[in-house]
Amino acid sequence: MNQRKVRILMAKCGEGYATAVMNLARAFSEAGFEVIYTDLQEPEAIVASAIQESVDHIGVTTLPGADIEYFKKILDLLEREDVRQIQITAGGFLAEEDIEKVKQMGVAEFFPKGTTYDQLIRWARANITPIDN
């Protein structure tokens, strides 16, 4: 029996254009992942979308102005909805001192600006597996 594709919800945090997120979504889709992209930025909407779409993972692109409390809110909502098995990663712009803080909150990994698509896809293949929903 074939294992289903890993489903990743891609979202963004902060102000800016969505081109980077759309290019990332395309790269993951071409690599064999099922990608759901949302333009929604509110943590409640992101968690609701993650549950509705039965995703295995949430990837958040942080744009300039991103607030790390955003991640705490998402993680708290995942726990409240009893879907804490949905893992979160983030990447992009964050102050160096905030990267360790978001990891301590429960973000699985943070990928700084400049991380290649190949590096992201390799990490995803090694660390994300489908959740039995």
- Four-CA torsion 127, 128, 129, 132, nearest 10 degrees: 130
pLDDT for residue 41: 80
Report the distance separating Cα 76 and Cα 98, nearest Å: 18
55 domain residue, yes or no = yes
43-94 pLDDT, tens digit each: 999 999 999 999 999 999 887 777 889 999 999 999 999 999 999 999 988 8
| Pairing mode, strands 34-37 and 57-62 | unpaired
Residue 61 CB-density burial (10 A; 0-12 exposed, 13-18 middle, 19+ buried): buried
Report the distance separating Cα 92 and Cα 113, nearest Å: 4
Q: Tokens 């509705």, residue?
A: 52
Q: Give the single-character DSSP code of 108.
A: S
| Statement: residue 5 has pLDDT above 70 | yes
What single letter denotes the amino acid at residue 64? Answer: P
Q: How confident is the model at residue 19 (pLDDT cuts 50, 70, 90)?
A: confident
% of the chain at pLDDT higher than 90:
63
Higher-scoring residue by pLDDT: 56, 41: 56
pLDDT for residue 64: 74
Domain that holds residue 69: 7-127
1 domain residue, yes or no = no
Residue 19 CB-density burial (10 A; 0-12 exposed, 13-18 middle, 19+ buried): exposed
Q: How confident is the model at residue 1 (pLDDT cuts 50, 70, 90)?
A: very low
62 domain residue, yes or no = yes
List the CATH number of the domain containing 40.
3.40.50.280
Q: How many domains does one find in the chain?
A: 1
pLDDT for residue 67: 83
pLDDT for residue 2: 54
34 domain residue, yes or no = yes
94-105 pLDDT, tens digit each: 888 899 999 999
97 domain residue, yes or no = yes
Residues 56 and 27 sit within 8 Å (Cβ to Cβ): no
Average pLDDT over all residues of the chain: 89
Q: Tokens 């902060």, residue?
A: 14
